[in-house]
Protein backbone atom coordinates (compact mmCIF):
# COMPACT_ATOMS: atom_id res chain seq x y z
CA UNK A 1 0.00 0.00 0.00
CA UNK A 2 1.20 3.52 -0.81
CA UNK A 3 2.63 5.40 2.18
CA UNK A 4 0.38 8.34 3.11
CA UNK A 5 2.15 11.46 4.38
CA UNK A 6 0.12 14.54 5.30
CA UNK A 7 1.98 17.84 5.28
CA UNK A 8 2.23 20.88 7.50
CA UNK A 9 3.84 23.92 5.90
CA UNK A 10 4.91 26.60 8.36
CA UNK A 11 5.01 30.39 8.11
CA UNK A 12 5.12 32.41 11.33
CA UNK A 13 4.42 29.19 13.25
CA UNK A 14 1.09 28.63 11.48
CA UNK A 15 -0.10 25.91 9.07
CA UNK A 16 -0.34 27.40 5.60
CA UNK A 17 -0.40 26.37 1.96
CA UNK A 18 1.06 28.15 -1.02
CA UNK A 19 0.27 27.77 -4.71
CA UNK A 20 3.27 26.89 -6.91
CA UNK A 21 5.57 28.10 -4.13
CA UNK A 22 4.31 31.69 -4.32
CA UNK A 23 4.54 33.22 -0.84
CA UNK A 24 2.02 35.88 -1.84
CA UNK A 25 -0.56 33.09 -2.29
CA UNK A 26 -0.34 32.08 1.38
CA UNK A 27 -3.52 30.74 2.96
CA UNK A 28 -3.65 29.93 6.67
CA UNK A 29 -5.47 26.68 7.51
CA UNK A 30 -4.65 26.27 11.19
CA UNK A 31 -2.90 28.59 13.61
CA UNK A 32 -1.93 25.67 15.85
CA UNK A 33 0.37 23.15 14.10
CA UNK A 34 0.50 20.92 17.20
CA UNK A 35 -3.27 20.58 17.18
CA UNK A 36 -3.12 19.84 13.46
CA UNK A 37 -0.48 17.15 13.98
CA UNK A 38 -2.57 15.57 16.75
CA UNK A 39 -5.55 15.54 14.38
CA UNK A 40 -3.52 13.66 11.77
CA UNK A 41 -2.37 11.16 14.39
CA UNK A 42 -5.91 10.64 15.69
CA UNK A 43 -7.04 9.87 12.14
CA UNK A 44 -4.52 7.06 11.94
CA UNK A 45 -1.64 8.60 10.02
CA UNK A 46 1.82 7.49 11.15
CA UNK A 47 3.99 9.95 9.26
CA UNK A 48 4.14 13.73 8.92
CA UNK A 49 6.00 16.00 6.50
CA UNK A 50 6.85 19.43 7.93
CA UNK A 51 8.18 22.22 5.72
CA UNK A 52 9.73 25.32 7.27
CA UNK A 53 8.80 27.89 4.62
CA UNK A 54 10.31 30.67 6.73
CA UNK A 55 13.49 28.62 6.80
CA UNK A 56 13.46 28.05 3.05
CA UNK A 57 13.25 31.80 2.53
CA UNK A 58 15.81 32.68 5.23
CA UNK A 59 18.24 29.87 4.25
CA UNK A 60 18.41 28.50 7.80
CA UNK A 61 16.00 26.67 10.09
CA UNK A 62 13.47 29.02 11.70
CA UNK A 63 10.63 26.85 13.04
CA UNK A 64 12.59 24.25 15.01
CA UNK A 65 10.58 25.13 18.15
CA UNK A 66 7.38 24.15 16.34
CA UNK A 67 9.03 20.91 15.22
CA UNK A 68 9.99 20.15 18.81
CA UNK A 69 6.46 20.89 20.02
CA UNK A 70 4.96 18.52 17.41
CA UNK A 71 7.37 15.65 18.09
CA UNK A 72 6.92 16.08 21.85
CA UNK A 73 3.13 15.96 21.60
CA UNK A 74 2.74 13.08 19.12
CA UNK A 75 4.26 9.74 18.16
CA UNK A 76 4.30 10.64 14.47
CA UNK A 77 7.42 9.91 12.43
CA UNK A 78 8.33 13.41 11.24
CA UNK A 79 10.49 14.40 8.33
CA UNK A 80 11.51 18.04 8.25
CA UNK A 81 12.74 20.31 5.47
CA UNK A 82 13.19 23.94 4.59
CA UNK A 83 16.28 26.04 5.15
CA UNK A 84 18.68 23.19 5.86
CA UNK A 85 22.02 24.52 4.65
CA UNK A 86 24.52 23.38 7.27
CA UNK A 87 25.36 20.43 9.50
CA UNK A 88 24.24 22.61 12.40
CA UNK A 89 20.78 22.86 10.80
CA UNK A 90 20.58 19.07 10.46
CA UNK A 91 21.60 18.52 14.07
CA UNK A 92 19.10 21.16 15.18
CA UNK A 93 16.30 19.32 13.34
CA UNK A 94 17.30 15.95 14.77
CA UNK A 95 17.63 17.43 18.25
CA UNK A 96 14.08 18.78 17.87
CA UNK A 97 12.79 15.29 17.16
CA UNK A 98 12.86 14.89 13.38
CA UNK A 99 13.47 11.32 12.23
CA UNK A 100 14.58 12.46 8.77
CA UNK A 101 15.53 15.72 7.09
CA UNK A 102 14.94 16.80 3.51
CA UNK A 103 17.91 18.39 1.78
CA UNK A 104 17.31 20.13 -1.52
CA UNK A 105 19.18 23.29 -2.44
CA UNK A 106 22.49 22.23 -0.87
CA UNK A 107 22.39 19.02 -2.91
CA UNK A 108 22.56 21.26 -5.99
CA UNK A 109 24.90 24.01 -4.83
CA UNK A 110 27.29 21.96 -2.67
CA UNK A 111 27.04 18.30 -3.67
CA UNK A 112 30.26 17.33 -1.91
CA UNK A 113 28.82 18.61 1.37
CA UNK A 114 25.56 16.73 0.89
CA UNK A 115 27.44 13.51 0.10
CA UNK A 116 29.42 13.98 3.32
CA UNK A 117 26.15 14.31 5.25
CA UNK A 118 25.00 10.99 3.83
CA UNK A 119 28.09 9.41 5.35
CA UNK A 120 27.79 11.27 8.65
CA UNK A 121 24.09 10.77 9.36
CA UNK A 122 23.24 7.75 7.20
CA UNK A 123 21.38 7.72 3.91
CA UNK A 124 18.22 6.45 5.64
CA UNK A 125 17.93 9.74 7.54
CA UNK A 126 18.44 12.05 4.55
CA UNK A 127 15.65 12.63 2.04
CA UNK A 128 16.79 14.11 -1.25
CA UNK A 129 14.50 16.97 -2.21
CA UNK A 130 14.09 17.15 -5.98
CA UNK A 131 11.84 20.10 -6.70
CA UNK A 132 11.44 20.32 -10.46
CA UNK A 133 10.20 23.01 -12.82
CA UNK A 134 10.45 22.64 -16.60
CA UNK A 135 12.71 19.65 -16.13
CA UNK A 136 15.25 21.57 -14.02
CA UNK A 137 15.86 21.37 -10.27
CA UNK A 138 14.67 24.49 -8.44
CA UNK A 139 16.38 25.81 -5.32
CA UNK A 140 16.10 28.31 -2.46
CA UNK A 141 12.39 28.05 -1.78
CA UNK A 142 11.70 27.60 -5.50
CA UNK A 143 12.83 31.14 -6.19
CA UNK A 144 15.66 30.02 -8.49
CA UNK A 145 15.99 27.39 -11.20
CA UNK A 146 19.34 25.60 -11.44
CA UNK A 147 20.94 24.10 -14.54
CA UNK A 148 20.57 20.57 -13.10
CA UNK A 149 18.45 18.12 -15.10
CA UNK A 150 16.30 15.86 -12.93
CA UNK A 151 17.41 12.36 -13.96
CA UNK A 152 21.19 12.93 -13.82
CA UNK A 153 20.73 14.77 -10.53
CA UNK A 154 18.96 11.77 -9.03
CA UNK A 155 21.55 9.33 -10.39
CA UNK A 156 24.39 11.17 -8.68
CA UNK A 157 22.80 10.70 -5.27
CA UNK A 158 21.38 7.24 -5.81
CA UNK A 159 24.93 6.19 -6.69
CA UNK A 160 25.93 7.54 -3.25
CA UNK A 161 23.31 5.54 -1.39
CA UNK A 162 20.23 7.77 -1.37
CA UNK A 163 17.00 5.78 -1.17
CA UNK A 164 14.40 8.39 -0.22
CA UNK A 165 13.55 11.05 -2.81
CA UNK A 166 10.84 13.68 -2.41
CA UNK A 167 9.95 14.94 -5.88
CA UNK A 168 7.69 17.96 -6.16
CA UNK A 169 6.42 19.06 -9.56
CA UNK A 170 6.25 22.79 -8.80
CA UNK A 171 3.75 23.61 -11.54
CA UNK A 172 1.31 21.24 -9.82
CA UNK A 173 1.93 22.19 -6.20
CA UNK A 174 -1.08 23.64 -4.43
CA UNK A 175 -3.17 23.63 -7.62
CA UNK A 176 -5.35 20.56 -6.92
CA UNK A 177 -4.84 19.80 -10.63
CA UNK A 178 -3.71 16.20 -10.17
CA UNK A 179 -0.20 14.81 -9.64
CA UNK A 180 2.48 14.42 -12.31
CA UNK A 181 1.95 10.66 -12.60
CA UNK A 182 3.78 10.26 -15.92
CA UNK A 183 6.84 11.99 -14.50
CA UNK A 184 6.84 9.73 -11.44
CA UNK A 185 6.42 6.61 -13.59
CA UNK A 186 9.42 7.71 -15.62
CA UNK A 187 11.50 8.15 -12.47
CA UNK A 188 10.49 4.76 -11.07
CA UNK A 189 11.30 3.08 -14.38
CA UNK A 190 14.76 4.64 -14.30
CA UNK A 191 15.43 3.94 -10.61
CA UNK A 192 13.11 1.17 -9.35
CA UNK A 193 15.09 0.85 -6.11
CA UNK A 194 14.19 4.40 -5.11
CA UNK A 195 11.60 5.15 -2.38
CA UNK A 196 9.93 7.95 -4.31
CA UNK A 197 7.65 10.34 -2.44
CA UNK A 198 5.33 12.10 -4.89
CA UNK A 199 4.37 15.66 -4.06
CA UNK A 200 2.24 18.29 -5.75
CA UNK A 201 -1.23 18.45 -7.26
CA UNK A 202 -3.03 15.74 -5.27
CA UNK A 203 -6.72 16.69 -5.32
CA UNK A 204 -8.69 13.66 -4.14
CA UNK A 205 -8.62 10.01 -3.09
CA UNK A 206 -8.64 8.94 -6.75
CA UNK A 207 -5.33 10.74 -7.36
CA UNK A 208 -3.74 8.80 -4.51
CA UNK A 209 -5.15 5.53 -5.83
CA UNK A 210 -3.80 6.36 -9.29
CA UNK A 211 -0.33 6.93 -7.85
CA UNK A 212 -0.57 3.63 -6.00
CA UNK A 213 -1.65 1.84 -9.19
CA UNK A 214 1.35 3.35 -10.96
CA UNK A 215 3.67 1.82 -8.37
CA UNK A 216 4.64 5.04 -6.59
CA UNK A 217 5.77 4.13 -3.04
CA UNK A 218 4.63 7.25 -1.15
CA UNK A 219 2.69 10.48 -1.47
CA UNK A 220 2.63 13.81 0.35
CA UNK A 221 -0.58 15.82 0.38
CA UNK A 222 -1.74 18.98 2.10
CA UNK A 223 -4.15 21.35 0.43
CA UNK A 224 -6.56 18.61 -0.68
CA UNK A 225 -6.91 17.51 2.93
CA UNK A 226 -7.32 21.02 4.30
CA UNK A 227 -9.92 21.82 1.63
CA UNK A 228 -11.92 18.71 2.54
CA UNK A 229 -11.35 16.98 -0.80
CA UNK A 230 -9.66 13.88 0.68
CA UNK A 231 -11.81 11.40 2.59
CA UNK A 232 -9.53 9.78 5.14
CA UNK A 233 -11.83 6.86 5.84
CA UNK A 234 -11.35 5.77 2.23
CA UNK A 235 -7.58 5.76 2.54
CA UNK A 236 -6.62 4.30 5.90
CA UNK A 237 -7.59 0.69 6.52
How do residues 221-231 score in pLDDT, each as one tens digit?
999 999 999 99
Active site residue 9: yes
Q: What is the pTM of this model?
A: 0.94
How large is the average pLDDT for residues 193-209?
96
How large is the average pLDDT for residues 168-184?
91
The pLDDT score that the predictor gives to residue 11 is 97
How do residues 107-156 score in pLDDT, each as one tens digit?
999 999 999 999 999 999 999 999 998 889 988 767 778 889 999 999 99
Least confident range of 12-16, 212-216, 233-237: 233-237
How do residues 23-80 score in pLDDT, each as one tens digit?
889 999 999 999 999 999 999 999 999 999 999 889 999 999 999 999 999 999 999 9
Q: Is 71 left (phi over 0), alpha (psi -120 to 50) or beta?
A: alpha
Contact, 50 vs 71, CB < 8 A?
Answer: no
How large is the average pLDDT for residues 162-173?
92
> Which member of 9, 64, 79, 207 is catalytic?
9
Name the packing angle between helices 64-73 and 33-43 (round to 10°): 40
N residues, the chain = 237
β-bridge partners, 195 = 164
The pLDDT confidence band at residue 234, using thresholds 50, 70 and 90, is: confident
> Which member of 52, 64, 79, 131 is catalytic?
131
Amino acid sequence: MIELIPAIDLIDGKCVRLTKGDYDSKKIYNEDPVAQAKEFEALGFKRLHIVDLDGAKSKHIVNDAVLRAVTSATNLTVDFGGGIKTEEDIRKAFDAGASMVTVGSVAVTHPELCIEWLKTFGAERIILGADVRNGKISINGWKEDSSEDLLPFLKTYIDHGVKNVLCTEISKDGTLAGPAIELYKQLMAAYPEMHLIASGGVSCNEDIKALEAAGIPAVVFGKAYYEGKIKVEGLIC
